[in-house]
Amino acid sequence: MEFVYLEHTADLLFQAFGKTKEGLIVNSGRALCNAIIDLRGVNAGEKIELEVKIEEEKFEEVLFKFLEELLFQIETREMVFSEFEVKELREGYLKIECRGEKIDSKKHEVKTNVKAITRHDFRVWFHEGKWNALVLCDI
Amino acid sequence: MEFKKVSEGTWEIPKEGGMLVPGRVYGTEKIVERIESGAINQIKNVAYLPGIQKYSIALPDAHIGYGFPIGGVAGIDYEKGVVSPGGIGFDINCGVRLIKTNLELKEVKPKVREIIEKLFVDVPSGLGSKGQFRANKNQLNEVMQEGAKWAVKEGFGWSKDLEHMEENGRIELANREKVSEKAIQRGMPQLGSLGSGNHFLEIQLVEQLFDERVAEKFGLSKGQIVLMVHTGSRGFGHQIASDYLGVMKNAMNKYGIRVPDPQLCCAPINSKEGKDYLEAMYCAVNFAFANRQMIMHWVRDGFSKIMGRSAEEMNLELLYDVAHNIAKIEEHNVEGKRKKLLVHRKGATRAFPAGRKENPKAYAESGHPAIIPGSMGTASWIVVGTEKGLEETFGSIAHGAGRVMSRHEAMRRKKGKQVQEDLMKEGKLVKAASYATLAEEMPEAYKDVDEVVKSLEVSGIAKKIARVVPLGVVKG
């Protein structure tokens, strides 16, 4: 399983998984995008490259910043992304290719508008051979 | 229930652990029984904030938020206390305004569908909705500083509208130098758009009056048609909130502040971080005032075209505009002394009775109208604040109904199309950009707004003036 949406009264809560840290980043990105638009209808025809560069070295901070940056790109480019490929990941740094297309409400089923990634219960952990991330988004 | 009853509709959570003040919860028994334990913890956590005065307050629509419960209020000592972005929220100055008309049901009912269809086209709504007007950087710079005043200068609405807005639609402390480039990029295409989620436009009917004298002062009458606009600062505000939550997170250690929940991150109001956040936050406040002013202009325009009469002829006057995610610098009585406070209202509305300098001249004797929008398909309310409310909650009341059901649960119960059909059977037309939103926003997903407003009255912190019901709804 790549990700699952969990119950929450007011907002969007998801748990993403990955065998590797790179896998977790990819599935977290997909979880966010799929919450906004059903990715089954998205053609990964256009690509952009995102870079996250932060002073904090913890992996969870890189993941958090990636999701914030991804949301920013979704809104300002009016694109949604269904495929991701990590080009480089090290302490405090991520380079990732994101592939998708322009949002077209006639073609894409619009599900939810995400306002922000929050730190409410945000955590990243490794358990039984899998990386996990719990992320709550304000919607 | 871990609350101690203080009086009818008023409950206390006693101080424990590091709480600096007790919690104060407003609601009938029916309401408080259903407050989630997570929200109760949040009420307790807010009581840890340095400089908090009197109580950590929760209003009857309280439910879980980030750090603060939604429906949460904290008055913080301005000189010695902290500012916490979680106490304002991501949708800075999400708020609501009511526009009056001189029309009655029989004139408007045959045209509701046409009006809704027109407004759906004229006012952008839905995911990433962009304005029909795209602001350039210079214009956004002006909006950040001038708020609704800029909008009126550009021809959106009437200059007298400004007198009927909280803060006259503009907070001077805004400083655009404190706003990130990212926020500006998100804001430029979204100025003049409704957004989605629980934002809406509604055509409503004044169904019942509860205080004829005050209703007359407000220009409200039974059977009158009114229009409501509910929206906020869009991606612009969301980005500012995200930016400064990051700044505050890093500032906590610097100032030696400890809070039980990282989402309550804060900084002293008088610190660089605190000042910078306030100045940026007020830019978002001004953006939202401008946004609602622009949308009202298009609503007036669209409504006029369908009704075949001008906005002036139909007296499409602004009743009032209130914010419900904001922090305001206000003076209040605390233990017999007048104190300058930063009042955080997170999903809470200001409701000042007569006698406050902040009230516009037109409402000096009555107090200003406080608008409580219901959720989709349910009633909304106009109430007025009381002296008791001023004393106990810094003049703050509920902002809406508050959710009780998760969006997943709502979508499991009914499809969006079914929700639309059910509302139509009740005579309420709904037009939305997304059926998924309709399902998520179904009336059953929210608390009973009548019970929320009853709670305000029973506890004495507000008085009912009018109940309005929707005839037509436009949702993002």
- B3-55 residue pLDDT tens: 999 999 999 999 999 999 999 999 999 999 999 999 999 999 999 999 999 99
| Residue of A34, A75, A79 to mutate when probing chain B, most B C-beta within 10 A | A75
- A93-104 residue pLDDT tens: 999 999 999 998
ipTM of the complex: 0.93
Pick the CATH number of A3-138 from 3.30.2310.20, 3.55.10.10, 3.10.20.30, 3.40.50.720: 3.55.10.10
CB B379 within 8 A of CB B117: no
| Annotation says B399 is catalytic | yes
Q: Does B407 contact A12 at a Cβ distance shorter than 8 Å?
A: yes
HSE of B187 in the Cβ direction (CA atoms, 13 Å)? 33
Contacts of B241 in chain A (CB under 8 A): 116
- Of the ranges B54-68, B117-131, B155-169, B189-203, which one carries the lowest mean pLDDT score? B117-131
Contacts of B403 in chain A (CB under 8 A): 9-10
d(CA B96, CA B288): 10
- B378-415 residue pLDDT tens: 999 999 999 999 999 999 999 998 777 888 788 888 88
pLDDT value of position B320:
98
Q: How far is A130 from chain B (nearest CA, A)?
A: 26
Distance of CA B277 to CAs B178, B271, B284, Å? 7, 10, 11
pLDDT value of position A117:
96
- B111-142 residue pLDDT tens: 999 999 999 999 988 665 666 788 999 999 99
Strand-strand pairing, B95-104 and B337-346: unpaired
Question: Running DSSP on this structure, what letter comes out for residue B146?
Answer: H
Report the SS3 class of residue B243. helix
> What pLDDT band is residue B436 in, cutting at 50, 70 and 90?
confident
Helix (H) / strand (E) containing A74:
helix A59-77
Q: What is the mean pLDDT of chain B?
A: 94
Of the candidates A9, A74, A103, the beta carbon closest to that of B405 is on A9
Of the candidates B65, B182, B436, the beta carbon closest to that of A111 is on B436
Rounded to the nearest 10 degrees, how much is the dihedral formed by the CA atoms of B145, B151, B153, B154? 120
Q: Is A120 on the interface with B (CB under 8 A)?
A: yes
pLDDT value of position B127:
67
Q: Is A139 on the interface with B (CB under 8 A)?
A: yes
pLDDT value of position B125:
83
Q: How far is A23 from chain B (nearest CA, A)?
A: 25
Q: Does A120 contact B67 at a Cβ distance shorter than 8 Å?
A: yes
- B213-256 residue pLDDT tens: 999 999 999 999 999 999 999 999 999 999 999 999 889 999 99
Q: How far is A116 from chain B (nearest CA, A)?
A: 6
Max alpha carbon distance in chain A (Å)?
42
| Residue of A115, A123, A136 to mutate when probing chain B, most B C-beta within 10 A | A115
Q: How far is A7 from chain B (nearest CA, A)?
A: 6
pLDDT value of position A102:
94
- The DSSP annotation for A8-53 comes to -SSSEEEEEEESSHHHHHHHHHHHHHHHHB-GGG----EEEEEEEE
Residue of B nearest to A108 (CA): B434
pTM score of the predicted model: 0.96
pLDDT value of position B66:
85
Q: Is B347 on the interface with A (CB under 8 A)?
A: no
- Of the ranges B146-150, B261-265, B290-294, which one carries the lowest mean pLDDT score? B261-265
- A3-48 residue pLDDT tens: 999 988 778 999 999 999 999 999 999 999 999 999 999 999 999 9
Of B447 and B379, the structure prediction assigns the larger pLDDT to B379
Q: Does B235 contact A7 at a Cβ distance shorter than 8 Å?
A: no
Mean pLDDT of B177-201: 93
Strand-strand pairing, B462-475 and B429-432: parallel
> What pLDDT band is residue A139 in, cutting at 50, 70 and 90?
confident
CATH code for residues B4-404+446-475: 3.90.1860.10
Tokens of B257: 């502040």
pLDDT above 70 coverage of chain A, percent: 100
- B334-347 residue pLDDT tens: 999 999 999 999 99
pLDDT value of position B155:
97
Query: What's the sign of the alpha-carbon dihedral A5, A6, A12, A14?
Result: negative
| Backbone φ and ψ of B328, nearest 5° | -120, 145
Q: Is B41 on the interface with A (CB under 8 A)?
A: no
Q: Is A7 on the interface with B (CB under 8 A)?
A: yes
Q: Is B434 on the interface with A (CB under 8 A)?
A: yes
Tokens of B1: 């229930």
- B343-361 residue pLDDT tens: 999 999 999 999 999 999 9
pLDDT value of position B129:
62
Alpha helical stretches, state H, B219-309:
234-254, 272-307
Of the candidates B196, B239, B263, the beta carbon closest to that of A113 is on B196
- Residue type at A98? C
Residue B1 scores a pLDDT above 70 = no
Report the SS3 class of residue B274. helix
pLDDT value of position B393:
98
CB B324 within 8 A of CB B96: yes
Closest CA to B49 of B14, B70, B19: B19
Q: How far is A78 from chain B (nearest CA, A)?
A: 7
d(CA B445, CA B63): 13
Say which of B199, B324, B399, B408 is annotated catalytic: B399
